[in-house]
Amino acid sequence: MSSNEMTGGEALARMLKAAGAGPMFGMGGFQLLPFYDAARRIGLDHNLINDERCAVFIADAYAKVSGRVGICDATLGPGATNLVTGLVEALNAGTPLVVFVGDSHRLHSWKNMTQESRQTEILRPACKELIRIEMVERIPELVRRAFQVATSGRPGPVVVDVPEDICHGTFPFDEAEFSIDESIARAPAIRCRPAADDLERAAEMLSGAKRPLMLCGGGVHISGAAEAAEALAHAINLPVAHTMTGKGAIACTDPLSAGLFGRYDRIANALIEESDCLLVVGCKLGEIATKRYTVPAADKTVIHLDNVAEEFGRTFQPTLRLWSDARAGLDDLRDALAADADAIRGRQQGYADEVASKMKGWRESVDARLTSTEQPINMARLLNELNKTMPADGILVADGGFAAHWGGLLYDTKEAGRGFVPDRGFASIGYGLPGAMGCALAAPGRPVVGLTGDGGFNMVMGELETARRLALPLTVIVVNNAASGYVKALQHLMYGTGNYQSSDLAEVNYAKVAESLGCTGIRVEDPEDIADALKAGITGKDGPTLIDVVVTRDPAKMLPGVDNRTVQAKKGDRVA
């Protein structure tokens, strides 16, 4: 074996090269300079970011769409602490990331070093695992470990803390050490299958049900299980409802789609109430999905399929626990039902037709809002135009706040798969633009649209410079209501008209902001102009397009429905 004296920073870069790392983002400092130098020399696709939180958001969206591990880095102190929000998003969403963070020189630690903080203690609760490298020669081993942890079980972010002296120090590495098995460069790296007895019982419960319903969460997409969900649904005429992150488990346009369930729903909550057997797949049954823990009712028959055993019983006690990877479990269920599938499908045809009829009826009942000509623009009209314009392979990224709720309720994916990317792990606003950047990098050639509020865009507008620098062909829709819309809407519901505090923003023409940053800017005030603006953005190939859509200023119309928490709050409960 040949050996090569190199810095720890170069060893880090070589391990990423061995892993086939995709585009990565960071903002360097002295501690990681050897890594940056090696990245330049060996051809890693590393790019400067304007805010470290956005580096994690880009990596998160990239990983969600590509299935590969997202990579980013930050320098010590403020660089490290700026990562926290993005790390928690990835941790809660199950996104595989490896994040390198520079740290102080160990010889001088705790001697008032510039920018020093107890960053490992700050970051540890925000990631799946934190690995601190204490010896240069262990870099290949520990980076390999970081990838393995990031992609196994419920995937998540792993932080690799690199002291200055480790990154700048040298060691005669053996060339053979720089290798990473392809199996741990993607998530999920390892799949588990349900126990045979549990699988048999689940098949019996589904085959004997008269009104079964599948509820899909984001775990379906983490597992790459959309095709398996679609196949099971079609095999036995099993209707499917979804959470925001589970949208695309089957196409929203599929006759078996019952749409979003939980806090905002179309027809799904009523179907859940009427169902005699619920198959919950890759869903944590959190607050929004369960309409603050009221859906489904406690006495419902529920099969809960998840690969994280700790989620069983956390918010709902299921009748049957299926400990399994989503794709493997759904494939096994379909196989277990195969002998009776034709009979079940025929028996369930009337039920399936009923679901399709109810969905058609719902669409007709909201048509006035979907086609509204009012000015400022109705959010439902904006989403309806987006549905008509977006190609089947398009990706919509929905920022936190009301952008996600409107998108979750009204946006329709046209094929199974991850075509809707909301940041529901932490629901932080500011994800729309960097999330769109990550998706554009993960899926070149697919149209990408980011939907964000003006408040969220204000937080991250500097990344428009990054998107322009990279010539990313994406579209950002800024929903311009001159307010922190979600908060203002809640204040309206809670305290009445005119009782608003710290929820208004200045009127800004964001199209001009985009133009000042060298991007295409389009301002839309008339709903009849939405379609042309969307087409111009989606077909544009010369870099980012920002569409500034002036929507309603009426807080009574800012949400797609009344927030269920307000009823509880008016009874004296605390609003979260």
| Predicted confidence (pLDDT) per residue in 389-418, tens digit | 999 999 999 999 888 999 999 999 999 999
In a domain, 201, yes or no: yes
In a domain, 205, yes or no: yes
Residues 515 and 392 grouped into a single domain:
yes
Whether the CB-CB separation of 69 and 151 falls below 8 Å is answered with yes
- Alpha carbons within 13 angstroms on the beta-carbon side of residue 465 total 9
> Which residue among 145, 164, 184 closes a domain?
184
User: For the segment 60-94, what is each residue's pLDDT rounded down to a tens digit?
Assistant: 999 999 999 999 999 999 999 999 999 999 999 99
Q: What is the pLDDT of residue 465?
A: 98
Residues 122 and 23 grouped into a single domain:
yes
In a domain, 383, yes or no: yes
In a domain, 190, yes or no: no
In a domain, 189, yes or no: no
Q: What percent of the chain has pLDDT over 70?
A: 97
Residues 305 and 403 grouped into a single domain:
no
Q: Average pLDDT, stretch 40-67?
A: 98
Q: How confident is the model at residue 474 (pLDDT cuts 50, 70, 90)?
A: very high
DSSP 465-491: HHHHHTT---EEEEEE-SB-HHHHHHH
> Which residue among 324, 345, 362 closes a domain?
362
Judge whether residue 571 has pLDDT over 60: no
What are the strands of the beta sheet with 97-103, ordered from one edge? Answer: 46-48, 24-27, 70-74, 97-103, 157-163, 129-132
Q: Average pLDDT, stretch 306-324?
A: 97
In a domain, 386, yes or no: yes
Spatial distance between the Cα atoms of 143 and 287, rounded to a whole number of angstroms: 35
Q: Average pLDDT, stretch 214-219?
A: 98
* Domain limits for position 240: 196-362
| Listed residue (382, 484, 472) closest to 436, CA to CA | 472
In a domain, 191, yes or no: no
Structure-token match 């196409």, residue found: 251
User: For the segment 484-530, what is each residue's pLDDT rounded down to a tens digit?
Assistant: 998 999 999 899 999 999 999 999 999 999 999 999 999 999 999 99
Give the H or E element holding residue 521. Answer: strand 520-524
Residues 388 and 502 grouped into a single domain:
yes
Judge whether residue 567 has pLDDT over 60: no
CATH number assigned to the domain comprising residue 131? 3.40.50.970
Residues 10 and 121 grouped into a single domain:
yes
CATH number assigned to the domain comprising residue 276? 3.40.50.1220
The structural domain count of the chain equals 3
Judge whether residue 419 has pLDDT over 50: yes
Whether the CB-CB separation of 318 and 303 falls below 8 Å is answered with yes
| Listed residue (327, 346, 349, 306) closest to 186, CA to CA | 327
Q: How confident is the model at residue 428 (pLDDT cuts 50, 70, 90)?
A: very high
Spatial distance between the Cα atoms of 66 and 70, rounded to a whole number of angstroms: 9
Spatial distance between the Cα atoms of 189 and 152, rounded to a whole number of angstroms: 5
Q: What is the pLDDT of residue 2?
A: 66
Q: Average pLDDT, stretch 300-322?
A: 97
Residues 351 and 496 grouped into a single domain:
no
In a domain, 291, yes or no: yes
Residues 8 and 89 grouped into a single domain:
yes
Residues 128 and 214 grouped into a single domain:
no
User: For the segment 140-162, what is each residue's pLDDT rounded down to a tens digit?
Assistant: 999 999 999 999 999 999 999 99
Residues 427 and 490 grouped into a single domain:
yes
Judge whether residue 476 has pLDDT over 60: yes
Residues 525 and 560 grouped into a single domain:
yes
Residues 24 and 38 grouped into a single domain:
yes
User: For the segment 97-144, what is each residue's pLDDT rounded down to a tens digit?
Assistant: 999 999 999 999 888 888 999 999 999 999 999 999 999 999 999 999
Spatial distance between the Cα atoms of 289 and 305, rounded to a whole number of angstroms: 16
Residues 76 and 134 grouped into a single domain:
yes
Q: Which residues, in sequence order, are bridge partners of residue 172?
A: 5
